[in-house]
Structure 1
Amino acid sequence: MITILILIAVIVVALAFEFINGFHDCANAIATVVSTKVLSPKQAVLFGASLEFLGALTGTHVAKTIGSGIVNSDMITLTVIFCALLAAVIWNLFTWWLGLPSSSSHALIGGLLGAAIVKAGINVVHVHTLMDKVIIPMFTSPMLGFCVGFTLMLLIAWVVIVLRETPNTVNKQFRKLQLLSSGLMALSHGSNDAQKTMGIITLALLAGGVLKPDPTGGFEIPLYVIIACAMTMAAGTMNGGWKIIKTMGHKIIKLKPIHGFAAETSAAGLILTASHFGIPLSTTHVISTAIMGVGSTFHAHAVKWRIVGNIVIAWVVTIPACMIISSIIYYLIYKII
């Protein structure tokens, strides 16, 4: 009976995390389209929520990485999962309150690592998978986001110059194209971020004995978990994270439709590629640095580097902070129990 109650609590917190992820990270998908005034905030949120939902249904590679690739699933209990989720929720709400676009992915991973290590020791961590699919992408994805955004913006600018288009014509054309790029961004965010909670819930169902692993020790994500996570993230997106949208869409650089298109297209391409290979990429890192790369093409001072510095600090401390938070929560629960 106690196990069932804990399992229910874990699933509730997991869906709460997914909901918060929706409104916390929805800015990644819709900030540029709002800041360039291609869509109103309400239109952008509805548009983004629809495509976030569809994106969440596109695969489960990332979910499997979260569910079994980072830590030894045999050592994971419902209490560990609960602590990981609670730490991620606390961190997401804290950074949302500050208006900083931190990574929900890294918050969840940090929470899982912290609680798992306290419970079973450092050997519970799959170091190679952690390095290959979390740590290395954590550093390379921002660089790629910046470089791809910078390069694509230069290419677009060159095409515009060759075609001798007027600024008004360019603006009108890219207002339409940005609908496509922002939709692709929302789709890519759903394809990567929603899967992380799918993996956590499936891990909880395995730990609670509701699901059984297959003969190879792996598992499949149940359809009802996929749909529940997709719907919850879409619902969260519809609530919007306006503080973060303001930071992403206005404070880093002043965006026009052509810049929004370049940043979103660059980021979406990288995120969809990562989802295909099961890499739990930080959508926040990629779109933020893509915006920086785009902004750097027309003037280095166009990017407000002080704001960027605050964002980078939030990125760097997310995993260790969530490890500490989840460790403390696990320790307190252990002491109470």
Structure 2
Amino acid sequence: MLPIAIVITLAMGFNYTNGFHDAANAIATSVSTRALTPRAALFMAAVANLVGAFFGTKVAKTIGSGIIEQPNGTRGLWLVGAALVGAIGWNLLTWWLGLPSSSSHALIGGLGGAALVAGIGVKWANVFNVVIIPMVVSPIAGLIIGYIVMTAILWLFRRAQPGKVQRGFRWAQTASAAAMAFGHGLQDASKTVGVVVLALTVGGYHEGSHVPIWVLVLSALVISLGTYSGGWRIMRTLGRRIIHLTPPQGFAAETTAAGILYVAGMAFGAPISTTHTITSAIMGVGATKRLSAVRWGVAGNIVGAWIFTFPGAALAAVVAWYVTYFWHH
């Protein structure tokens, strides 16, 4: 009973870091445009995360059974624990550096690294189809759709009085930020749910593909608490350093990203990165002004963090496996 309790605690630790690490994804644009105060934005995001978590069971099943072959017994629990330690370590490192890397890909990288060192098979075809392809497609979609949505807004309001437009979109951003936070809960809380279900199955405490309601509730509450604790370092990167956003731009970016998250999670069960999606949407929106308005150097640093997330989290999981498993034995 103790090993499963430890793994679930680690999963909730990852979930909490996911909340404060990725809180910026939902609210950075609203805070930077002064549509919402930081505390009001965090509270709204926490509530929307809580609700969104109950709509992402397809994503949970992908993480729980679609990434690695099912390990067995104590060895399997050690594998899941090592994967979580790797993901938490990567989250904390990138949070400290202020880089909005992907908690989702940190978790998947951790699972892959721990599985390889433990001699458990990785479902490479499935990883390619539901992780790698969406990882490439979602930022491209964010960039293109963000550009199109912002272009449409500029055309529709081309004769409107600028002051009224700014005030109107500040109100609209409350809804778009809530939609983005809902999508974050749908995607990211569900990933932790999938890991907990995997651990319960491995430990012999669960059978079948259904998701226990207590796991959903616990994951939703913890990610909401993490979100409310904030993520100020990353918020500055997304909200100010890539481009100085206006309320219409913030609305366009959030609406674009939320739509992509919904389609990927609810239609395909694809665990895409909220970070990748909102960042690329911000870049697409900013490019409608002029390409030089986007600080591509900062964007390049963020892309670098994306590239290193899989191997970085996998390596951390491998180290955690050796330290904990062989020390215990």
**What's the TM-score bracket when you normalise by the shorter of the two chains?**
over 0.9
Match of 2:109 in 1: 110
User: How many Å separate the matches in 2 of 1:74 and 1:10?
Assistant: 14
User: How many Å separate the matches in 1 of 2:126 and 2:11?
Assistant: 23
User: How many Å separate the matches in 2 of 1:233 and 1:84?
Assistant: 18
User: Which one of 24, 28, 32 corresponds to residue 27 of structure 1?
Assistant: 24
Residue 131 of structure 1, CA deviation: 0.4
Match of 1:233 in 2: 223
Match of 1:58 in 2: 55
Matched, 1:142 2:139: yes
SS across alignment from 1:37: coil
User: How many Å separate the matches in 2 of 1:233 and 1:20?
Assistant: 8
User: How many Å separate the matches in 2 of 1:44 and 1:329?
Assistant: 36
Match of 2:294 in 1: 303
User: How many Å separate the matches in 1 of 2:324 and 2:236?
Assistant: 37
Q: Provide the identity percentage.
A: 47
Q: Which amino acid counterpart does residue 200 of structure 1 have in structure 2? A: V
Residue 334 of structure 1, CA deviation: 3.1
User: How many Å separate the matches in 2 of 1:125 and 1:26?
Assistant: 30
Matched, 1:325 2:320: no
Within 5 Å, which residues of 2 pair with 1:36-47? 36-47=33-44
User: Which one of 156, 161, 167 corresponds to residue 159 of structure 1?
Assistant: 156
User: Which one of 238, 241, 246 corresponds to residue 248 of structure 1?
Assistant: 238
User: How many Å separate the matches in 1 of 2:88 and 2:132?
Assistant: 21
Within 5 Å, which residues of 2 pair with 1:88-99? 88-99=87-98
Match of 1:182 in 2: 177
Cα deviation code 1:57-89 (max 9, x no counterpart): 123000000000111124570000000000000
Q: Unpaired segments of 5 or more residues in structure 2?
A: none
Matched, 1:284 2:275: yes
Residue 181 of structure 1, CA deviation: 0.6
User: How many Å separate the matches in 2 of 1:321 and 1:285?
Assistant: 17
Scaled by the length of structure 1, the TM-score of the pair is: 0.95
Q: Which amino acid counterpart does residue 82 of structure 1 have in structure 2? A: G
Q: Which amino acid counterpart does residue 268 of structure 1 have in structure 2? A: A
Residue 333 of structure 1, CA deviation: 2.4
User: How many Å separate the matches in 1 of 2:53 and 2:82?
Assistant: 24
Scaled by the length of structure 2, the TM-score of the pair is: 0.97
Deviates more, 1:255-264 or 1:75-84: 75-84
Instruction: Say what the alpha-carbon RMSD is for the aligned residues.
Output: 1.0
Cα deviation code 1:2-43 (max 9, x no counterpart): xx2111111111001101100100100000010000111000
User: How many Å separate the matches in 1 of 2:310 and 2:33?
Assistant: 32
Deviates more, 1:135-144 or 1:259-268: 135-144
Match of 1:312 in 2: 303
SS across alignment from 1:225: helix
Residue 332 of structure 1, CA deviation: 2.4
Cα deviation code 1:135-173 (max 9, x no counterpart): 111111111110110111001111111xx1011011011
User: How many Å separate the matches in 2 of 1:191 and 1:170?
Assistant: 31
Match of 1:14 in 2: 11
User: How many Å separate the matches in 2 of 1:127 and 1:204?
Assistant: 20
User: How many Å separate the matches in 2 of 1:55 and 1:335?
Assistant: 39
Q: Unpaired segments of 5 or more residues in structure 1?
A: none
Residue 194 of structure 1, CA deviation: 0.4
Q: Which amino acid counterpart does residue 245 of structure 2 have in structure 1? A: L
Give the number of aligned pairs. 325
User: How many Å separate the matches in 1 of 2:175 and 2:81?
Assistant: 38
User: How many Å separate the matches in 1 of 2:324 and 2:85?
Assistant: 12
User: How many Å separate the matches in 1 of 2:9 and 2:326?
Assistant: 23
Cα deviation code 1:291-327 (max 9, x no counterpart): 0000001011111111111100000100111111111
Match of 2:78 in 1: 79
User: How many Å separate the matches in 2 of 1:11 and 1:105?
Assistant: 17
SS across alignment from 1:73: coil
Matched, 1:224 2:214: yes
Cα deviation code 1:257-312 (max 9, x no counterpart): 00000000000000010111100000000000000000001011111111111100
Residue 331 of structure 1, CA deviation: 2.0
